[in-house]
Amino acid sequence: MTTRRESSDKVPETTNKKLPRRDFFKKSGTAVASAAILAGSLSACNFQAKNKSKTKKRLAMVIDLRKCYGCHSCSIACKSEFNVPLGVWRSWVKTIDKGKYPKVKRSFLPRLCNHCENPPCVSVCPTQASHRDDEKGLVDIHEERCIGCKMCIVACPYDARFSHPTKKVANKCDFCIHRVEKGVVPSCVNTCPSNARIFGDLNDPDSEVRKLVDTNKVQVLKPELDTEPSVFYIDLDEDAVGGHITT
C-alpha cells in the first residue's frame, strides 16, 4: 500500500517545474481505516485523528455553494493561468436543473481535483508520478515521471484528470501550488467574485478552511468511496452528491 521514494532520487533536468528536495509518497493507512464519511456533517473529530503531524500540511478548499452563481470565472482563471489547451479543464462548473415548472431549481457545482487523502489515482500509478505530497499537502504529478498510461485518469472517480494534449502526460488541478508557494491564493480563489472559494491548510487549527469545516455542515463528493477529498462543499445539492458527476 505504501510507496516511497528516497530523498536522494534525482529530479530529471528536463523539467522546468521546481520540485522539493524531499518528496514523500504515502497513502494514509489511517484514512483507510477511518469510517466512511457520509454526505453530511463532518465533525471536527473526524480529522483530529489524522492530524498527527503539526508540520505537515493538508491544503484544502471549501466552496460555499450558497455564494456560487455559476459564472465560470474560476473556469477561465484556471484556463488562462496554465494556458490549458482546448478540450480539457483543470477546473470547471457543472450546472444541474431539477424540478417541474414553475418549481424549478438550478444548482451549480464547481469542480476541480479533490486532492484526496486516499487518492485512487496515486495507488494505480506505476511510476509514482502521481503522488500525495504530504509536505505541501496535496496530490501532485511529477510530469517527468509520467509515462502517459492514463491509469490515473481511469482511476479517478471524479473525472478530475486528463491527458494533456500537447505534453502527453496526466494533468489536473494542483491548487496553483506555484502561487501558493509564493504566498498568493490559487487563481480560482483570487477571481471568484463572491468569495465562494476559501483556501488554506486544514491542519492549521486557526485557518479559515479549518474553522469552516468545523462549524458548517460540509459535504464531499462520493463520500462512499472513502477517498477523503480535500475539497469541501457547503450547501451541496444532495442529488449532485449521489448523482453521476460529469463535466
The backbone torsions φ and ψ at residue 134, rounded to the nearest 5 degrees and listed phi first, read -75, -15
Q: How many of the other CB atoms lie within 10 Å of CB of 168?
A: 12
Within 8 A by CB and 6+ apart from 241, the residues are: 39, 219, 221, 222, 223
Give me the 65-94 binding string for other proteins, x by CB under 8 A, dash otherwise: -xx-xxxxx-xxx-xxxxx-xxx-------
Smallest gap from Cβ 106 to other proteins, in A, equals: 3
Residue in the block written with cell 489511517: 30
Q: How many of the other CB atoms lie within 10 Å of CB of 80?
A: 11
Per CB under 8 A, which region of 21-29, 110-118, 147-155, 180-188 contacts other proteins? 180-188
Work out which of 1, 10, 14, 16 binds other proteins, going by CB under 8 A: 16
With binding defined as CB under 8 A, does residue 13 bind other proteins?
Answer: no
- Taking a C-beta distance cutoff of 8 angstroms, is the pair 218, 62 a contact? yes
Per CB under 8 A, which region of 30-38, 39-47, 103-111, 113-121 contacts other proteins? 103-111
Within 8 A by CB and 6+ apart from 117, the residues are: 28, 31, 50, 58, 132, 227, 228, 229, 230
Give me the 136-155 binding string for other proteins, x by CB under 8 A, dash otherwise: xx------------------
Q: How many of the other CB atoms lie within 10 Å of CB of 6?
A: 7
Smallest gap from Cβ 48 to other proteins, in A, equals: 19
Work out which of 194, 238, 239, 242 binds other proteins, going by CB under 8 A: 194
Residues near other proteins (CB under 8 A), total: 62
Write the single-letter amino acid at 180: V
For residues 81 and 102, what is the distance between their CA atoms, to the nearest angstrom?
A: 40
Give me the 104-123 binding string for other proteins, x by CB under 8 A, dash otherwise: xxxxx---------------
Residues that bind other proteins (CB under 8 A): 16-18, 57, 59, 64, 66-67, 69-73, 75-77, 79-83, 85-87, 97, 99-102, 104-108, 135-137, 165-166, 176, 178-185, 187, 189-195, 199-201, 204, 206-207
